[in-house]
Amino acid sequence: MTIDLAVVPVAGQGTRLLPATKSQPKEMLPVGRKPIVQYVVEELALSGIKRLLFITGASKTSIENHFDINGELIQYLRETGREDQLAELDFERQQMEYFYTRQRRPLGLGHAVLCARPLIMNQPFVVALGDSIIGLHAQSKIVQRLIEQFERSDDIKAVVAFEEVPREEVVRYGIAKPRGEVDDVFELEDLIEKPDIDEAPSNLAVAARYVFAPEIFDMLEQTPPGKAGEIQLTDAIRLLLRNGAKGIGVRLAPEERRYDIGNFESYFEAFVEFALADPLYGEGLHKHLQALLNSQRPV
């Protein structure tokens, strides 16, 4: 049976995006017309995911509301003849079952994934970080490619998406130590969470999408706090590899750029890029930006 279950951690506090995230989840910030997490869900649907477990935290209820069916709003739009606006709610009806559980203590990404254990038990599953969009307008099937690799052999217990990053950015990500040649698909020898530049074994950065065998839960149980005093998913994968499991890396294609909405710099860039590519508003914005830049206003 192919994997149709994904865990989407959305419990992070988004402190690097304050004050915007003081009382709303960073995953609900819009990029172009949609909130970030809607792109993540649409991407997962494209790869055949049918069941989705959000790991949420305090002040994240608007995520639940967003994926619920808002009967009152539908009725209002129908009664007032706003069919085009009604079409914007089509995503509510997409074939996806949603489940929610809370990470009650902020102990890190690894701990958030471990919160899924009682519900996932013995099934392989996808992890997709709720603050990263893959590809312009999330038109990526990276998760499907990860699942295909995972299903190649029973020895494979983890498959991870990677993106090449400039050397100075390795300090922000989990970094791969590949075994042998690096092609679009490669074997993982080791992984290091946010290494110093001179310690980084490559510039291949973990890109927010993973597939795991349920054995990852045992590793997470044994993983002590690491970087930032948090239980790191990267450290649990490392443990899995050290215990003889096989790990595979899959590189994102050049058009599958990762938009990591963790700080204002990358958030602004993503917003502008998505808005410029908007079929309705992109051209107008393009002209506006061009005029603005040509006027060379002092900044």
Residues of the shown chain interacting with ligand G1P in the complex, contacts defined by CB under 6 A: 109, 129, 132, 173-174, 193, 205-208, 232-234, 260, 262
DSSP code at position 203? S
DSSP letters, 175-203, are EEEEES--SSEEEEEEEEES--GGG-S-S
262: tokens are 């963790």
Q: Least Å distance between CB 208 and ligand G1P?
A: 4
**Torsion angle in degrees (nearest 10) through CA of 60, 263, 141, 44:** 0
* Closest CB to ligand G1P: residue number: 174
Residue placing its CB nearer to ligand G1P in the complex, 77 or 193 = 193
Rounded to the nearest 10 degrees, what angle do helices 142-150 and 36-46 cross at? Answer: 50
Q: Least Å distance between CB 146 and ligand G1P?
A: 13
Q: Least Å distance between CB 207 and ligand G1P?
A: 6
Q: Least Å distance between CB 214 and ligand G1P?
A: 20
Residue placing its CB nearer to ligand G1P in the complex, 29 or 233 = 233
Question: Which residues touch 297 (CB under 8 Å, ≥6 apart)?
Answer: none
Phi and psi torsions of 298, nearest 5°? -65, 140
| Distance, CA of 256 to CA of 237 (rounded, Å) | 24
Q: Least Å distance between CB 7 and ligand G1P?
A: 14
Residue placing its CB nearer to ligand G1P in the complex, 202 or 275 = 202
- Bridge partners of residue 12, in order along the sequence: none
| Distance, CA of 253 to CA of 135 (rounded, Å) | 9
Nearest to 204 by CA among 171, 245, 170, 181: 170
Q: Least Å distance between CB 164 and ligand G1P?
A: 13
Q: Which amino acid is at 252?
A: L
